[in-house]
Structure 1
Amino acid sequence: MTLGDFVVYANYFVLTYFLVINAVYLVLYAISFAEIADYVRRDVFSGLSELFASNYAPPATIVVPAYNEEATIVDSVRSFLTLHYPLHEVVVVNDGSKDETLNVLIREFDLHESDQPVRLQLETAEITGVYASPTERLVVVDKANGGKSDALNAGICAAQYPLVCCMDADIILEEDALLRIARPLVESGSVAAVGGIVRVANGSRFEKGRIIEPKTPRKALPNFQIVEYLRAFIAVRTAWSRLNCLLIISGAFGMFRRRDVIAAGGYASDTVGEDMELVTRMHRVLRENDRMYKISFVPDPVAWTEVPESLRVLGRQRNRWHRGLIDTLFRHRKMLFNPRYGAVGVLGMPYFFLFEFLGPVVELAGYVAFAAGLFLGVINLPFAIAFFLAAIGLGVLLSTAAVFLEELRLERYPRWRDLLKLTFYGILENFGYRQINTLWRALAIVSFARKNTEWGAMERKGFDEGEADGGIKYTPGKDEKRAETAPETVREPTRRSE
């Protein structure tokens, strides 16, 4: 076989791969479109206000891990305490902060040491104190630093209620978000966990911990990420939920039945993708125990988060997300193509392995093979056009379709100017931004092979009274270099997310 023949075969292989993966995406989009249309139609008769006023909603605990959050923790806790829900408490876990996080909470909420027991049903670092507010349903657990997963486990142990909502300290929730994310758990006892949508806060206006006006940001990089998040949550995650093989509930905003999280062993502390790993392990444990269950995603309980505004910070984030994905797939590889695990084994795991894990390798190889084919003169014009349409054209279609699905069904961005801007970025991202993301993810495979477990330092400007244009914040590990909590894994070209 000559070099030219090898290059030709390589190009045909990559073209076939692109066609297959985009065909899968189109099927997922079709399922998501039908599911969201049905969800919006049912939501009109959902009786959300009646649910709020009734006694049918089980009480819930919001678990908030915090590390060095003194600047924003008071406003965040106040916003969580005032969410619309019949009965809920907030458990803040101070994960060995080195700043005044604990003292600020004690002072602002008049906290006193409490003898409330913490049921240590999960392994955590040493708990050094428990504080409670005399006027609010607020508990603060003070503990030695153990990382975000360890802090979440401590909060789940301290929770008094059957539903636990795990989220980041710097997330902004819409007022009815807790009620909306709990609704599937209220409606069916077989639902074990629910994920809500995470949206990009950069550019939007906020006041007193509430969003006033959703807007797109001025800078390009956050706009690219808005399109990604729309693909990830609305256009793809909805479909996986419908098929009951959703493997990711964003670490930034998800609700679980406390008993099922504990039965699965809680969050793993030795991974950088703790959100995906927990959900995948829950699938595995529930299947192995022959439980009839559902892990769901609902598109309207909204959490707003700031995203990176520099390539340096974003690259570190995406590298970590992809390493977390790989780690989860390898930990639970026995589920791959295993019919014992139902749709998760025969659909979800193969998809993530073939298209998420290996996708960046094949895509980069495709670009190299295509360039080599042009250089050697072994690629004709019809093939070049087909390759371009498969690699770029369908990516444009999928990105713009996600934006229009948002407008037609959810209408979160009220201004046409914002939708036109997002459509423009949905087209533009396929010419450079997507390729950079592919490179980051390919490099993450190398990092994983070298056993790199760092989170990477991240930055956040924080929510101002007005417009938010920021980065990322939270130090979830024992190492001070770890300084971010991610909304979720995001896949190019379709997809955070935690």
Structure 2
Amino acid sequence: MNVIDFFGWLIFLYMIGASVFYFVLFLLSAITLRRERGLNQKVPYDDLLVSRDTKPISILVPAFNEEAGVVSSVRSLLSMNYPEYEIIVINDGSTDETLTKMINAYKMEPVTMTVRKQVLSKEIIGIYRSTLFENLVVVDKLNGGKADALNAGINTSRFPYVCSLDGDSMLEPDALLKAMKPIIDSNEQVIATGGSVRIANGCRIEKGEVMNVNLPRNPIVTLQIIEYLRAFLIGRVSLSKHNLLLIISGAFGVFNKGWVVKAGGYKQDTVGEDMELVVRLHKVLAEEKSNKQIRYIPDPVCWTEAPDSLAILRRQRTRWQRGLFETLRTHYKMLLNPKYKKVGFISMPYFVLIELLGAVIEGLAYLYIILGLLFSFIPIELSVMLLVVTWFYGSYISMCGVLLEEWSLKRYPKKRHLLTLFFYASTEMFWYRPLNIWWRIQGLWQGIRKRSDWGVMTRKGISKE
């Protein structure tokens, strides 16, 4: 066996191992979701509305140049089905009309509030409260990035739980109740929960409310929907079951504020502040020998705007990969460390070997396949086997994610929706996944070079006023 064949077999074995691992995650997730299917969840959530154990929440909405969607996003939050909560929009030095639109839309006036500086954040310039809605506040501060804005929100917040939410996102009315239920049921043994994030492009949304769920016409956005189903319903459901979850999406997560403050708040020098905080929480829990848990809840849905062009999508994906690299580099001592138990021996190796390095190895698999089909120095048999296993890893697992959607939430009720999703999932490895792999490799390289900028993310808005 020559060197080329040897590396080809190594890539093949890696792809087989990663596919088996993902398929096991799929089976575990399917079992979990099928057990919950058909259960009447309405009564327990109604009970939470009148329960004394339902803690008040501060919803933190960091906003930088979000003039296109922040007003409608806040409107959806004002109609949340929850006993007591406040909405804190943090204007992070926006250069557009974000602050002006909020002040005009909600008749906001300057107020004086006590701000407890529990975590580091940049200077607050002013605070405004709505004269229409007493629980709506805008914090105007110097630009410091999303993590810094969230820290400013934590310092301003009054309640024991905080919910982080993107400025272009909208929650379904019962989302907070559903996210808080595991915390209440566990007597606050659960200290953080994350919910499903769904893509709103293509849906009809009016005045902050999803009126009709539909698929977008843009195939780039449709493939992102499939990606989200794969990531949330396969990866996070199964990892959460065993307290192995290392990421709660920055688009929607609920946290015990005391534990966030104890961990030091959000880290400002990373573009992956959402994952970094969750990993640090696991670290703090292990060091204090606490049995607190971090959970993912598949039902509470947050709707967000997805990039609809390759240029913007590339910026997002390279940033995500940089954030992953930065987090794993910061906490590399947790890897295979007995002190951190299952997180150190399962979660950390999974994110290093599959989520981080997987793009490089999968990229080599594509290169090997192409060279094997074009040139004779690579065995055609091995290239064909790699093609099959790469399709399974890239497309079949995504189709499994679509299947889990049909088994569980059924947000896409029409049969043509499912057929469209299955079709696009089957074609993923031939065009969309290679692009993603290339962007992830670029993001990894940028992380190694310590690039720190976010990149421009243009928003069009997802709600009609």
Which of 92, 97, 103 is residue 94 of structure 2 equivalent to?
97
Structure 1, 33-42 or 216-225: larger mean CA deviation = 33-42
In structure 1, the residue corresponding to 2:322 is in which secondary structure?
helix
In structure 2, the residue corresponding to 1:251 is in which secondary structure?
coil
Shift of 1:69: 3.1
In the other structure, the counterpart of 1:84 is 81
In structure 1, the residue corresponding to 2:361 is in which secondary structure?
helix
Could you tell me whether the CA contact under 8 Å between 1:7 and 1:369 is conserved in 2? Answer: no
Structure 1, 136-145 or 95-104: larger mean CA deviation = 95-104
Work out the CA distance in 1 between the residues paired with 2:227 and 2:460. Answer: 21
In the other structure, the counterpart of 2:141 is 143
Work out the CA distance in 2 between the residues paired with 1:197 and 1:148. Answer: 20
Alignment of 1:13-412 (within 5 A): 13-44=10-41, 47-134=44-131, 135-188=133-186, 189-374=188-373, 377-380=376-379, 382-412=381-411
Shift of 1:211: 0.5
Structure 1, 145-154 or 378-387: larger mean CA deviation = 378-387
Q: Partner amino acid for 2:95?
A: K
Work out the CA distance in 1 between the residues paired with 2:66 and 2:383. Answer: 52
Work out the CA distance in 1 between the residues paired with 2:310 and 2:81. Answer: 37
In structure 1, the residue corresponding to 2:429 is in which secondary structure?
coil
In the other structure, the counterpart of 1:9 is 6
Q: Provide, for residues 376-420 of structure 1, a one-character-per-residue CA deviation record: whole Å limited to 9, x for no partner.
A: 535555434322221113433211111111112221111001110
Structure 1, 36-45 or 431-440: larger mean CA deviation = 36-45
The TM-score with structure 1 as length reference comes to 0.89
Work out the CA distance in 2 between the residues paired with 1:298 and 1:198. Answer: 11
In the other structure, the counterpart of 2:418 is 419
Could you tell me whether the CA contact under 8 Å between 1:8 and 1:373 is conserved in 2? Answer: no
Q: Provide, for residues 142-181 of structure 1, a one-character-per-residue CA deviation record: whole Å limited to 9, x for no partner.
A: 2111111111001011111111000011101111111111
Q: Provide, for residues 95-149 of structure 1, a one-character-per-residue CA deviation record: whole Å limited to 9, x for no partner.
A: 1223343343334333333332111101110112222234421122221111111
Q: Partner amino acid for 1:137?
A: N
Q: Partner amino acid for 2:169?
A: I
Shift of 1:227: 0.5
- In structure 2, relative to structure 1, the CA distance for the partners of 1:46 and 1:386 (3 Å cut) is farther
Q: Partner amino acid for 1:18?
A: M
- In structure 2, relative to structure 1, the CA distance for the partners of 1:39 and 1:343 (3 Å cut) is farther
- In structure 2, relative to structure 1, the CA distance for the partners of 1:324 and 1:191 (3 Å cut) is same
- In structure 2, relative to structure 1, the CA distance for the partners of 1:136 and 1:18 (3 Å cut) is same
- In structure 2, relative to structure 1, the CA distance for the partners of 1:43 and 1:349 (3 Å cut) is farther
- In structure 2, relative to structure 1, the CA distance for the partners of 1:44 and 1:451 (3 Å cut) is closer
Could you tell me whether the CA contact under 8 Å between 1:10 and 1:366 is conserved in 2? Answer: no
Work out the CA distance in 2 between the residues paired with 1:368 and 1:77. Answer: 47
Could you tell me whether the CA contact under 8 Å between 1:10 and 1:369 is conserved in 2? Answer: no
Work out the CA distance in 1 between the residues paired with 2:399 and 2:105. Answer: 46
- In structure 2, relative to structure 1, the CA distance for the partners of 1:346 and 1:228 (3 Å cut) is same
Work out the CA distance in 2 between the residues paired with 1:312 and 1:338. Answer: 39
Structure 1, 102-111 or 327-336: larger mean CA deviation = 102-111
Q: Please identify runs of 4+ aligned residues in structure 1 that moved more than 6 A.
A: none
User: Where does the alignment leave 5 or more consecutive residues of structure 1 unmatched?
Assistant: 467-498
Structure 1, 4-13 or 223-232: larger mean CA deviation = 4-13
In structure 1, the residue corresponding to 2:86 is in which secondary structure?
strand
Could you tell me whether the CA contact under 8 Å between 2:369 and 2:384 is conserved in 1? Answer: no
In structure 2, the residue corresponding to 1:229 is in which secondary structure?
helix
Q: Provide, for residues 292-319 of structure 1, a one-character-per-residue CA deviation record: whole Å limited to 9, x for no partner.
A: 1111000111111111111111111111
- In structure 2, relative to structure 1, the CA distance for the partners of 1:81 and 1:91 (3 Å cut) is same
The TM-score with structure 2 as length reference comes to 0.95
Shift of 1:41: 4.9
- Cα RMSD of the aligned pairs, angstroms, is 1.8
Work out the CA distance in 1 between the residues paired with 2:118 and 2:40. Answer: 37
- In structure 2, relative to structure 1, the CA distance for the partners of 1:70 and 1:318 (3 Å cut) is closer
Work out the CA distance in 1 between the residues paired with 2:72 and 2:368. Answer: 53
In structure 2, the residue corresponding to 1:51 is in which secondary structure?
helix
Q: Partner amino acid for 1:395?
A: G
In structure 2, the residue corresponding to 1:99 is in which secondary structure?
coil
Work out the CA distance in 1 between the residues paired with 2:360 and 2:12. Answer: 14
Work out the CA distance in 1 between the residues paired with 2:405 and 2:3. Answer: 43
Work out the CA distance in 1 between the residues paired with 2:302 and 2:362. Answer: 32
Work out the CA distance in 2 between the residues paired with 1:31 and 1:43. Answer: 22
Shift of 1:40: 3.2
Work out the CA distance in 2 between the residues paired with 1:441 and 1:55. Answer: 46
- In structure 2, relative to structure 1, the CA distance for the partners of 1:141 and 1:405 (3 Å cut) is same
Number of equivalences: 463
Work out the CA distance in 1 between the residues paired with 2:271 and 2:315. Answer: 12
In the other structure, the counterpart of 1:479 is none
Shift of 1:207: 1.4
Identity of aligned residues (%): 44
Shift of 1:375: 5.1
